[in-house]
Amino acid sequence: MAKEEYAIGLDLGGTKILAGLVDHDGRIIAQKQLPTYAEEGKRAVIERVLSATHDVLSASGIHPEKVRGVGIASAGVINSDSGEVIFASNLGWRNVPIGLLIEQRFGLPVRLFNDANAAAIAEWLWGAGVGTRNMIYVTVSTGVGAGIVSDGRLISGRDGSAGEFGHISIDWNGPPCRCGNRGCLENYASGTAIESAASHKLVSTKEPVTDGILVQNGELTAKVICEAALAGDAFFAQIVKQAGFYLGIGAANLIYLFNPEVIVFGGGVMNASALLLPEIEKSMRDRCIPGLVQGVRVALSQIGAEAGVMGAAGGVFALNQPEEKPQNF
């Protein structure tokens, strides 16, 4: 039987703040969701984060002594040591010491993770990476990111920002990226890239689109494109598959760097996994030394919208049990 101990996971998203009390088996015992409303300003959002934390603790009926700490998953640039969100455009935050504020209010230790790293922990402890010591989680949504578990530990990097997989360059002479580099993977393989590839192709080829899907849906979002592709629209399917091809190139780089057992793909764009995964597998295997790629599994994430909450809480368990996970969580 698992230990009776709990951690609070907080997922700070641009549309909602999700707080969950999570047990040692990754079950969410109680949860509280509040809208972010970033436009109301930093203080209002901080208050809602504190209030969601308080509510989830009191709703659970669990004695605070059994709660090991609070894990926070946040997008943007963070400093895991200082517990600061340095910059998160979706929250409208700059230099917010959220870790310290929660610690002061609730007297619990706090650990901050970037959202891809939190999702990686969730998949590793309770999802598609269970039983492995070398797992890479790749998220494909608006952007592309990754969380890397290597030799049984999360690679955090200097300040918790390791795994910026979307900004590895796959074309030295490619289009400029907002990061300053050129030809970054996320300019070819993210939801945003899929949208822009579809718009460009529509303008340049003037190919007819089946089912009048553009007219029906108005906006050409990655979600619309993926749904049309899955429904059999060849024009959009080709664009989605192209993204898979590029993700496979990125995955090959990960194999050379980390020698993983499994690469787990998640994020909204992976709703089109039926089209993406075969393309990822193909270009990845075509580009790797056979002996290196042979044993590598490509898997779809198993944990859905709760990955941030679960992973942030999971990171707290790992942090508090050095004898079980003696690494640098």
Give the nearest distance from C-beta 185 to Zn ion in angstroms.
8
> Of 215-254, which residues contact Zn ion (CB under 5 A)?
none
Cα(126)–Cα(104) distance, rounded to whole angstroms?
A: 30
In the complex with Zn ion, the residue whose CB is nearer, 89 or 210, is 89
- What's the start-to-end Cα distance of the chain, in Å? 24
Q: Could you give the CA distance from residue 168 to residue 162 in angstroms, rounded to a whole number?
A: 12
Question: Shortest distance, CB of residue 182 to Zn ion, whole angstroms?
Answer: 8
Across-strand partners of 198?
none
- Distance separating alpha carbons of residues 105 and 89, to the nearest angstrom: 25
In the complex with Zn ion, the residue whose CB is nearer, 175 or 232, is 175
**Residue bearing tokens 């969701």:** 33
Six-digit token pair at 36?
């972010």
CB of residue 181 to Zn ion, shortest distance in Å: 4
Q: Smaller CB distance to Zn ion: residue 179 or 231?
A: 179
28: its two tokens: 């969410």
Stretch 253-292: interaction string toward Zn ion, x if CB under 5 A? ----------------------------------------
Nearer to Zn ion, 184 or 284 (CB): 184
- Output the DSSP codes for 72-95: EEESSEEETTTTEEEEETTTTEEE
Instruction: Report d(CA 300, CA 116) in Å as an integer.
Output: 15
Please count the residues of this chain forming the interface with Zn ion, following the rule CB under 5 A. Answer: 5
Residues in the chain: 329
Min separation Cβ 119 and Zn ion, Å? 20
Q: Does 77 bind Zn ion (CB under 5 A)?
A: no
DSSP class of residue 41 equals -
Cα separation, 190 vs 277, in Å, equals 14
What is the edge-to-edge ordering of all strands in the sheet holding 67-74? 28-35, 16-23, 6-12, 67-74, 110-114
- CB closer to Zn ion, 77 vs 177: 177
Q: Of 181 and 192, which CB lies nearer to Zn ion in the complex structure?
A: 181
Closest distance of CB 177 from Zn ion, Å? 3
Q: Which is nearer to Zn ion, 11 or 186 (CB)?
A: 186
- Under rule CB under 5 A, which residues in 130-189 are in contact with Zn ion? 167, 177, 179, 181, 184
The minimum distance between CB 299 and Zn ion, in angstroms, equals 26
Instruction: Give the shortest CB-189-to-Zn ion separation in angstroms.
Output: 12
Q: Which residues bind Zn ion (CB under 5 A)?
A: 167, 177, 179, 181, 184
